[in-house]
Amino acid sequence: MNNPYILQPIRIVKIEQLNTEVKLLTLDYAFPKYNPGQFFMLNLPGIGEAAFGIMQPICDKNFMEVLVRKVGDFTTKLHELKKDDKIYLRGPFGNGFPVNEWEGKNITMIVGGTGIVPIKALLDYISLHRKYFGDIQLLYGAKTAEEILFNKELNRCQKFAEVMLTVEKDKSWQGNIGLVTNLITPKTVMPDNSVAVLCGPPIMYKFVIEKLKKLGFTNKDIFVSL
């Protein structure tokens, strides 16, 4: 069994440019057992280290996908890497989502931007264990339509979940316009026998939690992924 605290050298086997700021790195890494919501640390010796959420299907453990948004020095260096370059990894860390405690409940996921990464793993888990959960909702907001990630996967999710998308501004977008908090209304989100899972920029949490509590959610019903 791998020691999660020891750095392991991993080869990059594929790089995809998802939009102007986001790349998807595929790593040649045999995946250990993990829980949705856990994370790994990626390291470039002499440069730095940062945490990245686990996002790939639980049933596919022969590789690891890492979503990298260019927001600082370390992620800029990650964007400069090429196929076959080496990166160092350790983990997984964190407790993950308490999915066993959520069995029999409705689940509303409220997501902003690249917060879709750990939620993607959670959606995959739910799809594989669908009969154990109640109604499933995904409320996902981004700045523009280009920043809505994993459109194919989101379309597949509509087979077992209600998916609502919104963007803050985009003339070409035909759907909801505004912040993801606009999707949280008494008609769309029901607190009875439900949990809410939040993942996105920290600034979003205060406003989302305020709206959820007005609807009747309590602290024990709200789970935040950092």
Q: Which helix (H) or strand (E) holds 110?
A: strand 106-112
What are the C-alpha distances in Å from 52 to residues 101, 179, 204? Answer: 25, 24, 19
SS3 content of the chain, % helix, strand, coil (to 5): 25, 35, 40
Sorted by sequence, the CB contacts under 8 Å of residue 200 that are 6+ apart come out as: 110, 111, 112, 113, 115, 141, 180
Contact 171, 145 (CB under 8 A): no
- CB burial string 135-161: b at 16+ within 10 A, e below: ebbbbbbbeebbbbbbeeebeebeeeb
**89 is an annotated ligand-binding site residue:** no
**78 is an annotated ligand-binding site residue:** no
Give the C-alpha separation, 176 to 147, whole Å: 14
Contact 83, 28 (CB under 8 A): no
**68 is an annotated ligand-binding site residue:** yes
Binding annotation? 67-69
Binding annotation for FAD? 67-69
